[in-house]
Amino acid sequence: MEGEFAPHIEEIKRALDNEIDDNSIIADLKKLLEYRVPIEEAKRSLIKKYGGAEKSIVRKLRDIQIGDRNIEVSAQVLEVTRKTINVKNMEKIIFSGVIRDETAARNFTAWQDFSLNAGDTVNIKQAYVRNWQDRPEVNIGNKSKVTKLSTGIAIPQESMQKKLSEIRDGEINVQTVFTILSIESREIQTKDGGKKILSGIGADDNTKVPFTSWVVLSELAAGNTVEVKNTYVRSFRGVPTLHINENSTVTKLDKKIQFKEQQRVMIGDIIEKEGAFDIVIEGNILSIRPGSGLIARCPECSRVIQKGICRVHGKVSERMDMRIKAVIDDGTGSLTLVLDAGLTQKICGFTIEEALKIGKAAMSQNAVEEEIKKKLLGKMLTVRGNMSRSEFGVSLVAADVSETPDTTKDRARELLGRMPWKT
């Protein structure tokens, strides 16, 4: 056996139930490598050719990475919802939710019914990891194998005491204290039918976060200050969100936490964070990024599309929309600011219909982007919204925007008044 192929040959043979001659494997492997097939892909191809099953790689949820294939995890199911999606113009039922082991909690999607229920402990083999909102998501496909286990997952008993500003996506067994600013009930569709859950906003002295409770508790009422234990954290659109379920403990406290609403935060103070909820920033618009102005979206999934083709739904009747993607800077840092059609109209003064007329008159949709540049470049804006981090950088999706009043003269007078003038 040629030495350089020895470890790869052994790995292939371990995945096979039948005996294949080493020389045949080497010959086939060399042939694939000559065609510049990556070694890992070549091994998977040969295992499939010889009728074997590639051995799953055991992972802890904390360690999974986007792009991982053929992984094996053992975890407890925390929540399961049922969804109907449209795939290539055909309806398909999928199941999504959250699983956890002793290291982390992660989202999952099951592409068929594996009879998963909240509270089940399962072993999942031949799963793969996809990107969901820039976070790793376990995908359980048609080739995956799911086995229900009789023993549970050993979860650390000691809670991690956290301030709301310290919580991070994937953390489990979190303990924290907050006052409930607002809360409402809503109904979602689980695999067993409708279920009432609670969604709200909690705050400590300087941070607000959204939370979801999968159980309806009297302690969870607006104005109450509560201590919650054994909660977990998952991100939604980049913002860490607390989740309370049947395993959590919620205690009403006889005290109030006074949340100090910040008038403005500095960009430099938040760009190193994982996410930030309902913050206000102020800065100058340095540039308008490509993709601003008029855009076309898929009417089914709202993805931005080109020439009426959606990569999921194929040829569609496009829906016109408008947005701004800009770089905003306050001297301490910069990030990408995203404004939807309504806020674009508010700050620029034209509707989608008027933008279409601008593009038609110039015979180019790029004319709308140029019009946005004329109106916004160099201006100072005050923006409220949620900040998130992704592979594309740090961005803030605005909920409101306004032009900041020009206070240059007032600031100049204030500075002059501080100068130690000599007579």
pLDDT of 1 strictly over 50: no
pLDDT of 316 strictly over 50: yes
**pLDDT for 195:** 85
Q: What is the per-residue pLDDT across 110-160, written as a single tens digit (0 to 9) for each?
A: 999 999 998 899 999 989 999 887 789 999 998 889 999 988 777 666 677
Q: At what angle do helices 366-376 and 352-362 cross, to 10 degrees?
A: 110
Alpha-carbon distances, residue 398 vs 98, 112, 274, 402, 407 (angstroms) = 28, 37, 17, 11, 23
CB of 204 within 8 A of CB of 163? yes
On the 0-12 / 13-18 / 19+ scale of CB atoms within 10 A, 166 is middle
CB-based burial, 52-66: b 16+ in 10 Å, e otherwise: bebebeebebeebee
**Identical fold, 57-148 and 267-403:** yes
pLDDT of 412 strictly over 50: yes
Q: Among 38-42, 208-212, 217-221, 377-381, which is the least confidently predicted range?
A: 38-42
Give 57-148's CATH code, choosing from 2.40.50.140, 2.60.40.10, 3.90.1150.10, 2.60.320.10. Answer: 2.40.50.140
Structure-block tokens of residue 88:
């290539």
pLDDT of 238 strictly over 90: no
pLDDT of 276 strictly over 60: yes
pLDDT of 220 strictly over 80: yes
Domain residue ranges of the chain, discontinuous segments joined by + = 3-49, 57-148, 160-253, 267-403
DSSP labels for 158-175? Answer: S-EE--GGG--TT--SEE
Q: Specify the CATH number of the domain 160-253.
A: 2.40.50.140
What is the CA angle 246-248-252, rounded to 5?
A: 115
pLDDT of 315 strictly over 90: no
pLDDT of 423 strictly over 60: no
Q: What is the per-residue pLDDT across 23-82, written as a single tens digit (0 to 9) for each?
A: 888 888 888 888 888 888 888 788 777 766 666 788 999 999 998 888 999 999 998 888
DSSP state of 391: T
Mean pLDDT of the chain: 87
CATH class, range 267-403: mainly beta
More confident residue, 88 or 380: 380
pLDDT of 13 strictly over 80: no
Q: What is the per-residue pLDDT across 324-346, written as a single tens digit (0 to 9) for each?
A: 999 999 999 999 999 999 999 99
- 211-239: average pLDDT: 92
CA-based max dimension of the chain:
100
- 378-382: average pLDDT: 94
pTM above 0.95, yes or no: no
CA within 13 Å, CB half, 78: 31
